[in-house]
Structure 1
Amino acid sequence: MPSEPLYIQIKQYIERKIDQGHWPVGERISTEMELTEQFSVSRMTVNKAIRDLVGEGKLERKPRLGTFVKRPAEKAESPLLDTRNIAQEVATRGKSYSCVVIKHQSIHADQTIATKLGVMLGSTVYYSEILHKENELPIQLECRWVNAKYAPEYHHQDFSKVTPNEYLTANCPMTAVEHTVEAIMCGDNIGRLLEMNAQDPCLLLHRRTWSDDKLISSALLYHPGSRYQLSSKIEL
């Protein structure tokens, strides 16, 4: 017996039908009543599955006509091997950038953060948590820890007006960057902020940056897998 909730099973069934080409772009899918009878569930359960797929941009409802497969939206993209200002990236795509500063505080490094930043346990570090948006849709959750010794004014910046990347690039020019990427399930908290379901895939970029021999910051950058992609280009 599948362990997933019924609405997830129905959602996965619809996604498989789309991926396998049974329901191409522009095709009307089965009605809610048909899916209700097929899976022997309540109409509310079917409606939940369809609403999720509409919210993810995979389906669209047309009044009095039904629910149709939607053409995939163009994904936002960032270079994997670069550290560009996300506000400039969004503007370059011709979209509107905005952000929400969730946290911006001075903290004492625990064992994990001390290891990430190469500082002593209990050292003062700065932490910022910012939700970046493109046309009001979240595309990145940035959780960043900064060595207070090397960027003492970081804590006093207004990150609703300047991004952490922009400030650090101007004041601690980056000479080395470390990147690690992994795919994760976003979970409840990240999903709520990125407007995703807890079971949806999320791209997580671990980034550490140096200025000369100084380790300046360590960041976790969460991206919705359905709306974002990372790319790289290597000259041979």
Structure 2
Amino acid sequence: MSVTPISALQNVFRDLPDSSQPIYAKLKHAIAQKIATDEWQAEQRVPSEAEIVKALGVSRMTVNRALRELTAEGLLVRHQGMGTFVAEKKAHSALFEVHNIAEEVAERGHQHRSELLVLESAKASVEEAMMLGVRTNHRIFRSVVLHYENDLPIQIEERVVNAQRAPKYDKQDFTKHTSYEYLMRVAPMTEGEHLVEAIIPTPKECERLQISSTEPCLQIKRRTWAGDDIITATRLLHPGSRFQLFGHFGR
């Protein structure tokens, strides 16, 4: 892990335009800018509170607040006994859109691969029938796919599909292309809904995602329609330390 020179922080802080912002906000902005432009890289150690106080001549409370807020926002991470470091950038998806995970990973300049865990044809249970808006015993497909980014698991995708609208779903090779690609080809989505919540994963899910039993996960339950028909009901599970949702609202 590399160390950020104090002189670099002094220069960044000194060159900030004069404004009515509080000093902690200026310091926070300076550090965030360096991270955003990749001048300060992931896992790079930033100066300690004491070092920043000495170099910039500001109060300990000011520095603490800036670092604390940057940590809360996920830009920095503090390791007990080691110091404060630039955090790894998390994967993120748009909250109100549905994307192909393989394309999202590629856009970040990383490699995507997937492991097919389950792909079967079955008769819908009562719960599955309700999710898809079909009768019990209606023919469905079930799939479970584990997605990787640079060989690190980032998503468990559990999907139930209306077989009538996607009849060849169980014939696809989901290690070569994603379920999203196939479904958008045979039954293009016209409508969707999300339910997002934080959960504690099961031991089996922890094993699949290679995380500790205490790490929370972000769960997204999604249903998508093509016309009047519900095509698929999906549960997506992401490690909290590797994923975030992003949304933008208009005025």
TM over 0.5, shorter chain: yes
CA distance in 2, matches of 1:138, 1:59: 23
For the 8 Å contact 1:105–1:155, the answer to whether it is kept is yes
Return the match for 1:207 from 219, 222, 225. Answer: 222
Query: Does the residue aligned with 2:173 lie in a helix, a strand or coil?
Result: coil
**What residue is the counterpart of 1:160 in the other structure?**
175
Residue type of the alignment partner of 1:79: A
Matches within 5 A, 1:26-65: none
Residue 77 of structure 1 corresponds to 92
Q: TM-score, normalised by structure 1?
A: 0.71
* CA displacement, residues 53-90 of structure 1 (integer Å, 9 cap, x when unaligned): xxxx9759xxxxx9666532110011111110000000
Which residue of 1 is the match for residue 13 of structure 2?
none
| Aligned partner of 1:113 among 128, 131, 145 | 128
- State the match for 2:242 in structure 1: 227
1:144 equivalent to 2:159? Answer yes
The CA deviation at 1:168 is 0.6
Residue 187 of structure 1 contacts residue 199 of structure 1 at CA under 8 Å; is this kept in 2? no
How many equivalent pairs are there? 180
Where structure 2 has 5 or more consecutive residues not aligned to the other structure, the ranges are: 1-43, 49-76
User: Residues of 1 paired with 2:125 and 2:45: CA distance?
Assistant: 50
1:102 aligns with 2:117: yes
SS in 1 for 2:109: coil
Query: Contact (CA 8 Å) 1:186, 1:197: kept in 2 or not?
Result: no
2:142 is aligned with 1:127? yes
Partner amino acid, structure 2, of 1:147: N
1:225 is displaced (CA, Å) by: 0.4
1:50 equivalent in structure 2: none
Superposition deviation, residue 26 in structure 1: 6.1
Amino acid aligned to 1:136 = D
* Moved segments of 4+, more than 4 Å: 24-28, 57-60, 66-70
Q: Which residue of 2 aligns with 1:184?
A: 199
Q: Is the contact between residue 141 and residue 222 of structure 1 (CA under 8 Å) also seen in structure 2?
A: yes
Give 3-state SS (helix, strand or coil) of 1:208's partner. Answer: strand
Give the structure with higher Rg (CA). Answer: 2
Match for 2:212 among 197, 210, 214?
A: 197
Cα-to-partner distance string for 1:170-220 (whole Å, 9 max, x where unaligned): 111110001010100112011111111122110000000000111100000
Q: In 2, distance between residues paired with 1:149 and 1:229?
A: 34
C-alpha distance in 1 between matches for 2:138 and 2:159: 16
CA distance in 1, matches of 2:118, 2:47: 44
